[in-house]
Amino acid sequence: MQQKRLLLTFSILLAILLGVFVTNYTFIPEVSLAKEETPTAVQIENVINNSQAPSLLAASLNDPYQIANIAEAVNPAIVYIHVKWPAEQSSTPRVWSNDPFYDFFDFWFFQPFQQIPRERVSQGTGFIIEESGIIVTNQHVVGNRGENQEITVTLNSPEHKGDYKATILGADARLDLAVLKIENGNDQFPTVALGDSDQSRPGEWVIAIGNPYGKQFDHTVTVGVLSAKGREIAIRDPDTGTTRVYQNLMQTDAAINSGNSGGPLLNLEGKVIGINTAVHAQAQGIGFAIPINVAKEVLQELIETGEVKLPPKPWLGVWFTEITDEIAKQLRLPDTKGVVITDVINGGPAHQGGIRPRDIIRRFDDIDIQSSNDLTSAVAQYKPGDEVVITVLRDGRTLLLTITIGDTPEELRN
C-alpha cells in the first residue's frame, strides 16, 4: 500500500515537472516573435551598415521615384544661362609667342603695354514661370538692363532644344532678382509652378536643380532638407567691391555650387519655394535661397516697370545726438532739451531748409523734442513731400524753419 502511494506521488511530481517544461517551451517562441516585430538598436544599426538606409527614406516618401518624377516633370522648364559682357579695355602686354624667349628684349624695351579687350562671361540657372518665356533668375547672374550684355538661355525639353536669345525685363540688385524674356515669337514654353515659402518648414525635404560649374553638368539634381529660415548673410561683390546684405534667406543642405545661382529650390509637390543664390564657401551643406514669396511680391513690378521701387521713407537728412550736460555747457544752453545737429547732408531736405550743424532742434511742428528718440518718431509720422516747421536754437536765437520732408535714398536705408 505504501509502495502504491509512493508511485502515485512520483507520477504526480513527474506530471507537474513535464507541465512546467511544456509551458516554458511554448512561451519562448512567443517572446522571440515579439522581438522580431520590434527591431533592436543592434538590428537597426545592421540595416544601416548594410546600406539599407535609402529604403527607409523611400518608405517615408511612399514612392521611391517621387523625387525622380518631380525632376523629370520640372527639368524642361529649367534653363542654362550664359551671359557675355562687352569687352573691356585693359593694359596688358601683347600675347606671348610659344617660344618663351621670343622677342624678349624688343618686347620689354621697345613695346609699350597694349590695350587688349577682355571679355567677361557669367553663367547660371533660371526657370520659366510663364508659357510666353518669362524666366526668373538672380540679378548677379545677368546684371541690369542697358549694360549691353548678350544673354543666351539653353533649353532641353522635347519641344524646345537649343539656344535662345533673351533680354532683361527687369532687375533689382537689392533683392538679387531678375526677370528675362525669351526672344522667340509666340512659342509656348514649359513652366514650373510657384509654391508658398511661408508654409515651408525647417526639416522638410527640398530639391535643387541647376547647372553647377556650367553647361557641362546641366540639370543636376540634388536633395536635402530645409535647414532653417530667416538667415542673414553678407557677400562681397568682387566686381564692384561693395558688400551685399541678404536678409530672410532660406538655408538648405542640398548641394549648391557655382552655376546653381538662379535655379529653383523645390518642395515635394514640385513647386518652387526658393531661388538658389549663394553657398557658404568655408562649409559643407550650407546653401541659401531667396524665398519665392519675396519674388512673387515684385515680379509684376519688375516685368512692367523694369525695377522695384522702394516704399517711401521720410527723411530729414541730418545727423544728430543727445544734449549732455557737457554739451549744454559748451554751447551755453539753458538746459539739455532737444537734440544737437552734428552734420547736415549736402542737398538734403534739412540743408535746403536752412538747418546747419550745431543747431538745436527744440520742436518739430507741434511736437516737443526732448531726445533723439523724439525726433526720430516725429519724422516717421510724416510722408515725403510734407512741409513741417522746425524750431531751432542757434547762437542764442530762436528760428522757425520750414522743411520739406524728403524720401530716404536707397544707399542710406538700413
- Residues 285, 219 within the same domain: yes
Domain around 394: 314-412
- Residues 281, 245 within the same domain: yes
Among the listed residues 122, 200, 227, 261, the single catalytic one is 261
Q: What is the pLDDT of residue 241?
A: 65
Beta carbons within 10 angstroms of residue 84's beta carbon: 15
The CATH code of the domain that includes 239 is: 2.40.10.10
Among the listed residues 140, 197, 359, 374, the single catalytic one is 140
Among the listed residues 122, 172, 176, 197, the single catalytic one is 176
Radius of gyration of the chain measured on its C-alpha atoms: 36
Looking up cell 540688385 gives 173
Phi and psi at residue 213, in whole multiples of 5°?
A: 60, 25
206 belongs to a structural domain? yes
343 is catalytic: no
The model carries a pTM of 0.64
- Residues 359, 408 within the same domain: yes
Facing residues of 209 across strands? 221
Q: For residues 306 and 315, is the Cβ–Cβ distance under 8 A?
A: no
Q: What is the pLDDT of residue 47?
A: 31
Q: Which residue ranges of the chain lie beneath pLDDT 50?
A: 1-2, 4, 6-7, 10, 12-60, 90-113
User: 266, 294, 322 — which closes off a domain?
Assistant: 294
The CATH code of the domain that includes 366 is: 2.30.42.10
140 is catalytic: yes
Looking up cell 540679378 gives 139
59 belongs to a structural domain? no
